[in-house]
Amino acid sequence: MANAAAIGLSARDLYLFNKGNYFHSYRTLGAHPVQQGGKAGVRFTVWAPNAKQVCVAGSFNEWNSSGHRMERIGETGVWSLVIPDIGPGAVYKYEIITTDDKRLLKSDPYAFAAELRPSTASIVTELFDYNWNDGDWHQRKLEDSPYHEPMLIYEVHLGSWRNDGKELFWTYEQMADELVDYVVRMKYTHIELLPITEHPLDQSWGYQATGYYAATSRYGTPKQLKMLVDRCHQKGIGVILDWVPGHFCKDDHGLREFDGTPIYEGKDWKRAEKPLWGTLAFDFGCTEVQSFLISNAIYWMEVFHVDGLRVDAVASMIDLHFDKPPELYTYNVFGGTENTDALRFLKRLNEVVFQYYPNALMIAEDSSAWPAVTSPTYMGGLGFNFKWNMGWMNDMLRYMALDPNERMRHHNLVTFSLMYAFSENYVLPLSHDEVVHGKRSLLNKMSGTYEQKFAQLRLFYGYWMSHPGKKLLFMGGEWGQFDEWKDAESLDWMLLDYELHGAMHNYVTSLNDRYGKTPSLWERDCDPGGFEWIDVHNAAQSVVVFMRRGHAADEFSIVICNFSYHHHPEYRIGVPKPGRYRTALHSEAAAFGGSVSTAGSTKVYHSSKTPWHGRPCSVTLDLPPLSFQLLVFARGEPRRIHEEAVLH
C-alpha cells in the first residue's frame, strides 16, 4: 500500500471523500494530466474498495495493463497511479481483479469524456481548458433573485431539435449558434437540456446514464459544450441540466458491481432494483456515493458554469415502494416506506449547492405529495428552491381534452390549483413526458376541429402563462407540433410553412415577449398576494377572470379566459380601480390565426363606475369563444371615467 502524499494526493481530501464530505471529488478522482518529476503524465485515481487489484489499460499500452498496476492508498478504498508520457486524448479503462479472481474492464466513474457509443472507453480530458466570457452574466445572477424574476424555460433534446438525419447529430458548437439565437428570438429566459451525461442507448434520452461526469460524445467535446453554455450566458440565457441521481444503467462497463461488489447500488438488491426501468438505484446511505453525487452537481456548475439542475424522479428516490412489485418491497428502520437515506441525501445536496452557488436553481421533478419540498432544510424541508407542479399539469391537460360543452361540470380542474399554488415554489411544466409514448402532442390533445385545436392551444398557453408559477415548454410546442415527439428525428420544422402553425409560432413569440414585459406575471409568483380571483364561480359559462399583481401598487393585469364555445359580445368584469385597461394580448387576434381584427384585439377600455364582482368599477368587453385576453392597467390619471372602447 502507498500513502496519499507519495502518490501526489491529499490525505485530507481522501478522508473527506470517505466521509461523504468531499464536494469537489472530481479534482482528485478520475484521470488528471499532471507534472511529476519534470515529466508530463496522467494520474489515474479510482474508488474500488473490494478489488484485489486494479490496473489501467488503454491505447497507450495496447490494452495490456500488466505494466500499469495501481497502488491502494491506505484503507481508503482508493487506488491511484501516475503514468508518464501520456496526456489528453488517451483512451483507457480500469481492469479490476475481483476477490474471486474475475477480470472486469470498467469505464471510469469520474471520466470527463467518453468514446462515442457503442464504444465505452473513457478519454483523458483537461477540466479547465476553456476561457470563459460570461462574467457579466454571473454578476447579474448575484444581484437578482430567481423568485422575483421571469423564468420561461425552453426544454430541449439536443439530438432531435435539429439534425441532418438519423444519428447525424448537430454538435454543441452548432447549437451554440443556431439554438441560442433561436431561443433569444423566442424570448425564453432559460434552456433546459435533457440529460447530456454519457449514456449507451439513444432512446433513453440520457435518463439511463453510465458516465455522470462525461458530457455525451454524441454532440461533440466537453469544450464545445462549454462554448454552448458560454454563448447562452453572453446572450442572457440561463442553462439548466436535467440531472438523474435516482438510478443508473446496468451495462457491464458501468457502475454496476464496479469492483465485483455492489458499491454504488448497495448490498440490498431489493432496494437497488428498479424493474420498471431495468436500472439500479444508488445507495444514498453510502458516504462515498454521497461524495460522488454531490460533487457531480457541483461539477456541472463549476466546470461547465450551468445555472441549475432539474432533479429527475424525486418521488422514486424517496419512496421505497415506488413502481415496485410487492416482492421487492423493503422498509426503513421505523417500519415505513420512506427512503430516509435519500431524504437525508437530498437535503445535504441542496445545502451544499446553495453554500457554493446561492442563486442556483435546484428544481425537483416530484410527483409525490411530500410536503415542504421547496422549504429550507432548517425548516424541515428538502431544500429545493422550485418544484414542478405536476398536479396543475395533469388537471389542465385533462380539462383541455374535454369537449367544451362538458367543461361546466369539471370547472374545478381549472380552479383547484389555486388552493395550493403557493404551498411550494412551482414551475408549470409542459414537458417532453407529456408528448411521447402515445400521449399525443399538446396540439393533438386539444378537443374539437383542426381550427378549434389551435384556438384551444392558444387559450391554454395564455392561461398557463398567466397562472402563478415559472414556466417550461418542450421544444416543438411553440408552433403546435402535431405529431408527438419523435426522439430519433428532427422536429417538424416544415410545419412553420403552414398557416396555422406559423401563426401559432407568432403567437407564442408574442406571448413570451408579453410575459417578459409584464412584471405582474412573475414578480410575485411565490407570494399569495400576487394573485386574486375576480370571478372563480362561473362554471356555467366556463369563464374565469383573475388578477395578477406585481410589487408596485399600480402594477397589475387582468386575465379573462373563455373555455367555452359561446361568444359573449358584452361581458362585464370587475376591476380594482378606475382608469384605462389596455389589451396587451388577445389569443383570437387574426395575426395569431384567430377571427378578431387588429382593431378588435388591441383595444383600450375605460372603466365605468358600475360595481361588479365585488369591485368598485368594471369594464365590458367582447369575449369570443375559446379565447384568452390579457388586460394591463394603464398608469396615470384616466382622461374619462366612463365605459367605451378606443383603438390602442
Residue type, 142: L
Alpha-carbon span 610 to 578, nearest angstrom: 10
Of 557, 506, 561, 568, nearest to 532 by C-alpha is 557
* Crossing angle (nearest 10°) for helices 390-401 and 450-466: 150
Instruction: Using DSSP bridges, classify how beta strands 426-430 and 103-106 pair: parallel, antiparallel or unpaired.
Output: unpaired
Quickly list DSSP for 444-493.
HHS-SSHHHHHHHHHHHHHHHHHSSSEEEEETTGGGT--SPP-TTS---G
What nine digits make up the cell of 85?
A: 508520457
Choosing from 288, 312, 424, 535, the catalytic residue is 312
Beta bridge partners of 473: 154, 430
Distances (CA, A) of 556 to 402, 460, 551, 611, 630: 31, 21, 9, 19, 11
Q: Which helix (H) or strand (E) holds 347?
A: helix 340-356
Distances (CA, A) of 67 to 4, 32, 522: 21, 19, 61
Starting at the edge strand found earlier in the chain, the sheet holding 543-549 runs 531-535, 543-549, 556-562, 627-634, 580-586, 603-606, 644-647
> 525 with 493: CB under 8 angstroms?
no
- Rounded (5°) CA angle 443-447-453: 45
- The segments of the chain whose pLDDT lies below 70 read 1, 3, 5-7, 635-648
> 270 with 250: CB under 8 angstroms?
no
What nine digits make up the cell of 106?
A: 470498467
Handedness of CA 393, 394, 400, 406 (dihedral sign): negative
Q: Structural domains in the chain? A: 5-123 (2.60.40.10), 144-251+283-310+339-520 (3.20.20.80), 525-647 (2.60.40.1180)
Choosing from 108, 134, 192, 365, the catalytic residue is 365
Reported pTM: 0.95
Of 466, 476, 490, nearest to 443 by C-alpha is 476
| Predicted pLDDT at 282 | 98
Alpha-carbon span 543 to 435, nearest angstrom: 27
Of 398, 471, 490, 373, nearest to 428 by C-alpha is 471
Whether 365 is a known active-site residue: answer: yes
> 488 with 602: CB under 8 angstroms?
no
| Predicted pLDDT at 79 | 97
> 277 with 208: CB under 8 angstroms?
yes
How many residues appear in the chain?
648
